[in-house]
Amino acid sequence: DVKVTQSSRYLVKRTGEKVFLECVQDMDHENMFWYRQDPGLGLRLIYFSYDVKMKEKGDIPEGYSVSREKKERFSLILESASTNQTSMYLCASSSRQGGLETQYFGPGTRLLVL
C-alpha cells in the first residue's frame, strides 16, 4: 500500500515562529509536492520537487521555503509564521513514470497561527 505521512495532524503556532512541516513517502517516488487547501479556493501549489536537492516554485511560494535532502522526505518551512498562513497543508508524491497526475496524498496538517 502506498503511504504518504505527515508529521502532525494539528499544529498551533504563534506569529513569528519558525514552523517545519514534514512529509515522508515510502514509495520511492521522485516527485513531491506541497499544497495548501483553503475553503472556496481548492488546492494551491506552494512548491514541488522532481528530485533530491531540487525544488521549483509553485503558484504561491511567498512566505515558504522547502528542503529535500533525501528522496523520501520533503519539508515545508514557514520562516516567520503569519496568521494568513493558517490553513490545511497537504503533501503529495508521484513517480516519474506515473506522470504528475497520479499523485498520492498524505492526510494533511491543519495549522493554526495565532
Partner 1 sequence: GDSVTQMEGPVTLSEEAFLTINCTYTATGYPSLFWYVQYPGEGLQLLLKATKADDKGSNKGFEATYRKETTSFHLEKGSVQVSDSAVYFCALGSSASKIIFGSGTRLSIRP
| 85 lies in the binding site for partner 1 (CB under 8 A) | no
Among positions 57, 107, 112, 114, the unique one binding partner 1 when judged by CB under 8 A: 107
From residue 1 to residue 20, what is the string marking binding to partner 1 with x (rule CB under 8 A)?
---x----------------
Among positions 34, 48, 64, 74, the unique one binding partner 1 when judged by CB under 8 A: 48
Q: Is 106 within 8 Å of 90 (Cβ atoms)?
A: yes
Among positions 12, 52, 100, 114, the unique one binding partner 1 when judged by CB under 8 A: 100
Task: Report how far residue 23's alpha carbon sits from residue 34's, in angstroms, rounded to the nearest whole number.
Answer: 9
Among positions 1, 62, 69, 101, the unique one binding partner 1 when judged by CB under 8 A: 101
Task: At 104, give phi and psi (nearest 5°).
Answer: -110, 130
| SS3 at position 106 | coil
Amino acid at 67: S
